[in-house]
Amino acid sequence: MEEKSYEQLVAEAKLRITEITARQAIALSRGAGDPVYLDVREPQEWNLFRIPGAIWVPLGDIGEIVAEHVSPDRKVIVYCARGNRSALAADIMSKQGYTDVASLAGGITEWANAGGEVDSE
């Protein structure tokens, strides 16, 4: 059996998960939804800028430690740079019992382009 490419894994994950747009995510951040924003980028990316109040768990650690940082009953919006790693993370989390998890389509790039606040400290 041939091993799947990264692109194939992402495409398959996106069929199983919920994706939301940057505008939808920004509206949730300003409303009563009180979602947890979960950043799954690498340390150097996290250190550049992030969504204010976000929790950071790199994609490689999602399966092992996300439950230490985010309760499975919380609404979670997972993001990365462009929306691929976050799709994989959302898929993993769904398999771990997270019932209200979504991937931010376009990642933090689209968030910033849509006027979402970013924190660089």
Torsion angle of C-alpha atoms 20, 95, 72, 25, degrees rounded to 10: -10
49: left (phi over 0), alpha (psi -120 to 50) or beta: beta
Residue-wise pLDDT for 33-55, tens only, equals 789 999 999 999 999 999 999 99
Name the nearest CA neighbour of 37 among 65, 45, 18, 26: 26
Structural domain boundaries in the chain: 17-113
Here the tokens at position 35 are 């979602």
- pTM for this prediction: 0.94
CATH superfamily of 17-113: Rhodanese-like domain (3.40.250.10)
Is residue 32 predicted with pLDDT exceeding 80? no
